[in-house]
Each structure stands twice: as structure tokens, then as C-alpha cells.
């Protein structure tokens, strides 16, 4: 907190205080949705609560109202395919939509700013959306189907194959 005083010619002083509210930056988070498939990402209030003072102690519940603002990095709004909803400042926010094929292979960086409506502090982090081709997902699902079919034909197997 800083104090500033101004003196006028008549020797009356005017003083006011300036409170500095710093924004904390959270680490980037990567997600990998597929083009043409519904993408849903929940903005959890709990994830941001620990960044706003008074810092809650473990097991202590803080129920400050928190709202979110989301935008494409360098732009005032989100991409056309991405929507956002938050019912109340006491509920989680949700980003959702179906990425388009035009965005495959291009990282889409969404800036997420959380506002504590009681203290007016902010916390920010980036959500990096790496849109994948739906064809790769289709091939992986076919491979899983074929492996499961083979497993049923051969009986129980002593190994497990996981396709990600």
C-alpha cells in the first residue's frame, strides 16, 4: 500500500491510499480435442481459490464469488467454435464447442482470467488447445475394436494393449 499526499496553495492536504492488486499467473494447460467432436473443459473454481488471499488453510472452505473471462490470446473474444457458460459466480465455468477442421495442427491459446469478486484480485493462466484430426481418432478406435474382437476369438490374453 502506498500513500500519496498533495498540498495546495492554501496548505490543505489531500491524502489517498493506493492498493496494489497483483495478478498471479498459473501454468499453461494443454488439451487435445479432435476436430468435429464436442470439446468440454471445466474451469474449476477450486483450481483458482488458493491464489486469492486470505489463502485458505488446508481443510478450510473459502466461498468467494469467482467469475471467469476467456479470450483467444491477442484478441478480445474466443474462436467462433468455442462457447463459454457460467451459471453463477459460485459455480464452475465451462468452455465447450466443436473444433473445426481448419484449425487442425494449429495451437489455439485461450487466456483464462479468474476474478475474485470479493477482493477484486485476478489470477490468469493459458489453456492451449491442440486440435487433432478426427481421422487419427477413428483409426485408433478401429484398432481397439479389432484388438478386442481378436481377444474374444483367442480367449483370455496374458497381456493388455492400451491405445491412447
Cis preceding-peptide flag for 136 (omega within 30 of 0): no
Could you tell me the three cell numbers for 105?
Answer: 495442427
Mean pLDDT of the chain: 75
Q: How much is the average pLDDT of 85-113?
A: 95
Please report which confidence band the pLDDT of residue 40 belongs to, taking 50, 70 and 90 as the band edges: very high
Residue-by-residue DSSP string for 58-92: TT------EEEEEEETTSSS--TTEEEE-SSTTS-
17-21, 26-30, 31-35, 115-119 — which is least confidently predicted? Answer: 17-21
> Under a CB-based contact definition with an 8 Å cutoff, are residues 70 and 129 in contact?
no
Q: What is the pTM of this model?
A: 0.64
Q: What pLDDT, in 10s, does the model give residues 65-87?
A: 999 999 999 999 999 999 999 99
Please report which confidence band the pLDDT of residue 164 belongs to, taking 50, 70 and 90 as the band edges: very low
Q: How much is the average pLDDT of 94-99?
A: 95
Residue 77 burial (CB count, 10 A): 10
Percent of the chain topping pLDDT 70:
60
Give the list of residues 6+ apart from residue 73 with CB closer than 8 angstroms, or none: 109, 110, 111, 126
Amino acid at each position: 500500500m502506498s500513500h500519496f499526499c498533495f498540498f495546495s496553495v492554501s496548505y490543505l492536504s489531500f491524502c489517498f491510499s493506493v492498493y496494489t492488486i497483483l495478478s498471479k499467473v498459473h501454468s499453461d494447460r494443454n488439451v487435445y480435442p479432435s476436430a468435429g467432436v464436442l470439446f468440454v473443459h471445466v474451469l474449476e473454481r477450486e483450481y483458482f481459490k488458493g491464489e486469492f488471499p486470505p489463502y485458505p488453510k488446508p481443510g478450510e472452505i473459502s466461498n468467494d464469488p469467482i467469475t471467469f473471462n476467456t479470450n483467444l490470446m491477442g484478441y478480445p473474444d474466443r474462436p467462433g467454435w468455442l462457447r463459454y457458460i457460467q451459471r453463477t459466480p459460485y459455480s464452475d465455468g465451462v468452455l465447450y464447442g466443436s473444433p473445426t477442421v481448419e484449425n487442425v495442427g494449429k495451437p489455439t491459446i485461450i487466456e483464462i482470467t479468474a476474478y475474485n469478486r470479493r477482493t477484486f484480485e485476478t489470477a490468469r493462466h493459458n489453456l492451449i488447445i491442440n486440435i487433432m484430426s478426427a481421422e487419427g481418432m477413428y483409426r485408433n478406435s478401429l484398432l481397439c475394436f479389432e484388438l478386442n474382437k481378436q481377444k474374444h476369438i483367442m480367449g483370455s490374453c496374458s497381456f493388455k494393449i492400451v491405445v491412447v
